[in-house]
Structure 1
Amino acid sequence: MAHRVGRTRWRRFAVVLVSGVVACGTLGIAMGEGALAASFLISGKRFQVTADTLTARGLSIYSMLDVTKHGERVPVLVTGSRHSTISGLCQSVLVEVPVLGPQTLKITGGNERPVEATNLFLDTTFQSAGQADFRGLDMGIAQGEITKGPINPGDRNSPYFDPGGFGQQATSVSLTDVRLTAVALSAGTFDIPGLRVRIEQGRHECA
């Protein structure tokens, strides 16, 4: 009996974590081919994103409400960029596995050569940077008037997008020591040199 219970535990472990890795791989392929939908229902699961440096050309920042499959509304700050380069990228998500406890799915890359992304959108609940250098900054612009950076087409057509809401845009920005908590990430292309995907026992989120 104990042997059968053990097999069940490992099957649950495999289903949760392998499906997570497959989902990440599928997401990367879809983004690379530009096949990912402009908007989608989020899981509501927070994940961590850190970077040594992030440089963006054509920046937009605006508020939105993302919606989970169960109808929960999640307030987010959307940061969009037409082109981004990222060094020292780390993404992690914590998965609670029954019996086995917390497992960390971690994705890293861009250490020897920077990550490059086009039409990148990060839906975040927290953002910080050690240093931020903006060029051509407009703060307080109406969200519907943002032109320097992109607006996600799915957001612009959403009932939760307020054209008269508070927005921000810039010609470019350079950030160091970036720390984000996000609920969604999408991009037209996402090129990650030196991609590494691993699963670690316990809590080992990007810091």
Structure 2
Amino acid sequence: MQDRIYRPGRTRWRRFAAMMVPATAAVGAILFGMQNGAIASDITVSGQTFKIAAERLEGDGFKQYGGKVREKGGTVHPIALAEIESAELYKLCQSVRAKGIPVVLTIHAGEGKEPARAKDLLIAMDSLEGNATFTNIKIGRDASELNATAEAGSFGQNADRVTIRDLQQVSRYTTASTFTLVGLRLKVNIGADAKECF
């Protein structure tokens, strides 16, 4: 499996955020957020993505809007930003493939009766797939009303609660105030056939 190559383009950031129509915005909006949390302008991403999968996510206090992240070398990536005040993740899997060598690091948690739990979470993601249900969702809000660092006039949405099943997500970075990994299992998988979460 080869690493995806990202190249800087001439993306218009306002247009990118505005084009996040309800269907894709809702699906692309789910995993990690930070309550009252801005996407920090001083965060520099590695340029490498990682994968997150879960059988089910249950979350309260959801917000979503568009944004961008920057690598140390200056390359910029458009991303979807999602915030969730509290979340429970059942059968959580996270994986990252090392660059240039056949090694995959995997983390599993929440595989028994107790899920993994996270609070005040923020995630910057490239994509998300799954089956989502939102409670009291408000679509088309000004993103700057959801987070002060978001661009005024760009697209945003929020909901009281979200449930997503069969979650598969490609992310660039995650922050959280607390992240409790019940039954944590970390493993380094070596070889050309080493598998990621999906």
Alignment TM-score, normalising by the size of structure 2: 0.75
Query: Which 4+ runs in 1 deviate beyond 4 A?
Result: none
- Aligned residue runs from structure 1 range 1-207, under 5 A: 39=40, 40-97=43-100, 101-112=101-112, 113-129=114-130, 131-146=131-146, 151=147, 156-157=148-149, 161-201=150-190, 202=192, 203-207=194-198
How many residue pairs end up in the alignment?
A: 156
Structure number having the greater helix percentage = 1
Q: Which residue of 1 aligns with 2:4?
A: none
> What is the CA distance between 1:96 and its match in structure 2?
3.0
Task: Give, in whole Å, the separation in 2 of the partners of 1:199 and 1:120.
Answer: 26
Offset at residue 38 of structure 1 (A): 6.1
In structure 1, what is the equivalent of residue 33 of structure 2?
none
Q: Which has more radius of gyration? A: 1
Give the deviation of 1:119 after TM superposition.
0.8
Ranges in structure 2 where 5+ consecutive residues have no aligned partner: 1-37
Tell me, in whole angstroms, the C-alpha distance in 1 between the residues paired with 2:92 and 2:73: 31
Taking only the aligned residue pairs, the percentage that are identical comes to: 27
C-alpha displacement of 1:163: 2.1
- Alpha-carbon separation, structure 2, partners of 1:192 and 1:72: 32
Query: What is the identity, as a one-letter code, of the residue corresponding to 2:83?
Result: G
Over the aligned positions, Cα root-mean-square deviation in angstroms equals 1.5
SS at match of 1:96: coil
Specify the SS of the correspondent of 1:144: helix
CA distance in 2, matches of 1:173, 1:38: 21
User: Who is 2:24 aligned against?
Assistant: none
